[in-house]
Chain A
Amino acid sequence: MPDDDLVFKALADGTRRLLLDALFERDGRSLSELEEVVTGHTEMSRFGVAKHLRVLEQADLVISRKAGREKHHYLNPVPIRMIHDRWIDKYTEGRIRALIDVKERAEKDDG
């Protein structure tokens, strides 16, 4: 089962983030189209690109669908949504709460 570790590990690599950005721009690309995107930035074999895509699939950040002889890759934003809900909201909310507390205390002292 994909968990937070797999997602964070998958995101901790520039090539994999580049692949996600490419799919965000245009979803449903084939391996050869994605290979083209990657080789525009860095030297990498088709095998290397496929390996990165596998890591993204294991983390559930990419879902592939067969379309005839090709495989199309889709960005799955759900794991990022869940990390956002579970972690990022928690910390930003805390900071906002702290500011509100400061404001409330300051206003109470005033009165």
Chain B
Amino acid sequence: MADSSTQVFGIYIDAPAAKVWEAIVSSEYTTKYGYGGALEIDLAPGGAFRHLTTDEMKQMGMGDVAVTGTVVEADPPRKLVLDWAAVWHDEPPSRLTWDIAEGPSGLTRVTLTHELPESPKTAADVAGNGDAENGGGGWPWELSSLKTLLETGRPMTTAGGR
């Protein structure tokens, strides 16, 4: 992508907003979709955020932490804003915004906006133009596996998962 400094992803999930929120902020869920890995998050403005690596990621040579960050805004279960930095690239933090809106039918709309004007390498990785099995699934893979987990209860992790 020539310009991927802002990326927007959307998905509908057949689950209440509160459950989607839990799946985004608690390790009980984050270990079961996308690329897996437990979370440490202090849900207050200025609170620390760390997405830990899985055993597979460690075997690939990564340290204990995959993503570091800071909570900018936490409004459960509607909005979570993070300053977000991928440890595998030496780039400035980017701004990640989760918008979660439950509709009248019970479907929840999740919109993820990632603003990375100064982090081109991270931007290329999270865009998800690669093979999900080889770590290139980015946010599309994270979101589609989150949907599968919440709607079917089936854990869905790949390449460094669990």
Q: A1-B107, A27-B6 in contact; A78/B1 too (CB < 8 A)?
A: no
Specify which of B8, B9, B129, B147 lies most central, judged by the most chain A CB atoms within 10 Å of its CB.
B8
- Is B140 an interface residue, CB under 8 A from the partner? yes
Are B3 and A2 within 8 A (Cβ)?
Answer: no
Residues of B within 8 A of A24 (CB): 1
Residues of A within 8 A of B111 (CB): 63
- Residue interface mask B3-16, A partner, CB < 8 A = 1: 11011111110000
In Å, the complex CA distance between A74 and B115 comes to 12
Interchain pairs with CB closer than 8 A, number: 57
Interface extent on B, as a size class? 20 to 34
Chain A binding site: helix, strand, loop or mixed by DSSP?
mixed
Are B8 and A76 within 8 A (Cβ)?
Answer: yes
Which residue of chain B has its CB nearest to the CB of A1?
B12
A interface size (C-beta, 8 A):
18
Are A2 and B1 within 8 A (Cβ)?
Answer: no
- Is A88 an interface residue, CB under 8 A from the partner? no
In Å, the complex CA distance between A71 and B4 comes to 17
The residues in A between 66 and 111 inclusive whose CB is less than 8 angstroms from any CB of B are 74, 76-78, 80-82, 85
Cross-chain contact of B10 among A25, A76, A80 (Cβ < 8 A): A76
Distance from B104 Cβ to chain A, minimum over Cβ atoms (Å): 12
Which residues of B come within 8 Å of A, CB atoms?
1-4, 6-12, 105, 107, 111, 113, 127-129, 132, 137, 139-141, 143-144, 147
The residues in A between 11 and 31 inclusive whose CB is less than 8 angstroms from any CB of B are 24-28
Which residue of chain B has its CB nearest to the CB of A82?
B144
Residues of B within 8 A of A28 (CB): 3, 6
Are B144 and A63 within 8 A (Cβ)?
Answer: no
Cross-chain contact of B3 among A26, A65, A85 (Cβ < 8 A): A26
Cβ-closest 6 pairs across A and B: A81-B140, A74-B8, A26-B3, A77-B140, A63-B8, A78-B140
Which residue of chain A has its CB nearest to the CB of B129?
A77
Which residues of A come within 8 Å of B, CB atoms?
1-2, 24-28, 60, 63, 65, 74, 76-78, 80-82, 85
- In the complex, 7 of the A-B residue pairs with CB atoms within 8 angstroms, ordered by the A residue number, are A25-B2, A27-B8, A60-B11, A60-B12, A78-B140, A78-B143, A81-B141
Residues of B within 8 A of A2 (CB): 12
Are A27 and B128 within 8 A (Cβ)?
Answer: no
In Å, the complex CA distance between A77 and B112 comes to 12
Are B4 and A27 within 8 A (Cβ)?
Answer: yes
In Å, the complex CA distance between A27 and B113 comes to 13
Are B10 and A60 within 8 A (Cβ)?
Answer: yes
